[in-house]
Structure 1
Amino acid sequence: MKSAAVLGASGYGGGELIRLIDGHPSLQVTYLGAHSQTGKRLEDVHPQLGDSNRVLEANTADLEGVDVVFLALPHGASAPLASDLAGRGVAVVDLGSDFRLDTPERYEDAYGSVHPFPDQLADWTYGLPELVDMGDTNRVASPGCYPTATLLGLAPLLAAGAVAFEGIVVNAVSGVSGAGRSLSENLLFGAVAEGVTAYGVTTHRHRPEIEMALEAYTGRSPVRLTFTPHLVPMLRGIHATITVPVSDGVTANDLRGVLAEFGDGKPFYQVVSGPPQTRWAVGSNRAIVSVYLDESTGNAVILSVIDNLLKGAAGQAVQAANLMLGFDEVAGLPNSGWMP
């Protein structure tokens, strides 16, 4: 049995990590770290996890004998801890955004600040197992939720030459849990219920991440796209609608064939014939995708849904850790959703 620490255990992502690891056949949680909730019992912070005498301690890099550390911390908080831990040979999966981008310039473009460890960015593996070989690494930067949904729908078609690299438009919606657990006026029930709101229009930090991953997977640079996220009044789930011109002579069957071939042998990738619904994916680590050809415009319409807290966060992190540690890729991960 391997030991795991979860730092940032009080948030939504941290809670899901604990739930998944508690059910894992080869991992056990031996340390729980938090910031504002330090000293509280786990059951008081995450009552959904049941009765537990475990106590949240401080976030720290001083962890002896831990095999893997999961960091579920706000932007900017994980970099010093991740750098210290990985530098000492500890396996680290960072669910935050501090090491996702490949160059200091791209990081500054996305976040408007200088990276504290620019020389280390190239040492981290982008943790999307369907696209990237985890290989021999002890440093995994887990992708963002919007990039995960977008990349799993778009990247296979781009790499196969079935669609164009120009004119890519991504419109995506997310449940409010994607914004985290911290109190925010614009996330109050009265601000969210019965409405849909676009945010980060033309400036969202996940756009450079999506472009980076597409460039790495296809070997073509630069890739540019328009990305517009929306907040919708549901708890969890992401639905990405991607429109992009198809290449000459490509048919609807060709598009579906590319996705089907890509998904072959990938346990958390499902291609469906109709429009997927977020509630099919919620509670599971699956990405569910479909694709259509709009004959009137010559555009492919790609639909991709995930659970933002599982395939978009905790589930994907455990999937990457499984591969890093030599476990079965599916160990401890749900493949079925919670519908209804």
Structure 2
Amino acid sequence: MQSTSVPEQPTLKRSLKKGPGLLISISVVSMLCFLAVVAWINWPKPRLAPEPLNRETKDLISRIPGKSDAVIYVGMKDIRNSPFWNEVMPDSLKKLPLISMGGKLDSLMNSRGFVIPDDLDTLIMSFRQTGFKKNDFLGIASGRFSEKFPESFLKAKSLETASAGGHTFYALDRNIWVAPFGTNRIAVAGSRKMLEDFFQPAGNFFERDSLSAALIDKAVYKSHLWFALPSAEWTNGALKSLTSANRDMNGLGNLNRIRHLALSASFKDGIKAETEWVYKTRRAAFFASTFLWGAAKLSSLSESRTSKEARELLDKVRIQQNLESVIIHADLPESLFRKSEKAP
């Protein structure tokens, strides 16, 4: 009797290296990469804990009237006492006018022998736009003001005087009002009303201007230099200054879409600095950080286009997207600057 069994057919296995299997593999890998990118964009990364404002500075800022487009702090006394200033900073740079207050005030300080790097201790500046291309300002400074600008001198130079909150104001120009107060302190403003509102505050600036308050909190280093820019216009201006040396970066549209910016720096042992650029969306922040990271890496690898010193500096810079922000942190040791001094 003949067997009627059918020979077994070999089982065909679908290959993942060709044909439909390859397409499936590519689709799966692409989906995993996409999910990884989405997870990275939406993952809140750890960040440095910001230093708190000292009580005196916080009290002065709390009296700023209205809202602000830019808040700037310079702790010149602490900078002067830092190891970096005393041991690394060249004497020629120490005498440069690090801060300009404008034509009238600059000429007045020069006439009285007031040297900002030597005589200024602290400075808080607030700017706000009050009209087309017009900014009102308020500055609160401490330093050798009682000695350099006694009230007798201010009275002799003033066009008119006013008072509020127990303090006398002196108009040195149509748009420059000054008022000495406390020990070696002076307030400078673009209008009499700014001084009146500062000495007779209505409410608390940190509660009234929550955006500025949040950006001030983002400034990591609070002792030497920091600024908070809630205004997109001020932010774009600062960004152009930061990227003016690089035409490619300056012309990139995504970098120019920053809504708010915070920056701070410390000069204790070398320079530590961090800036946070806040975008409207996490996606915009991701693309901006990716471009910056790629540009920095390419520059650090290019020996023909980038000097050795610049490559060493770029190696100390860290760029990271964190939700709607791009955070750039630099930790530049003293040795990096000492090498530059020794270089021919």
Decide: shared fold, TM above 0.5: no
TM-score between the two structures when normalised by the length of structure 2? 0.21
TM-score between the two structures when normalised by the length of structure 1? 0.21
Higher helix share: 2
The structure having more radius of gyration, on CA atoms, is 2
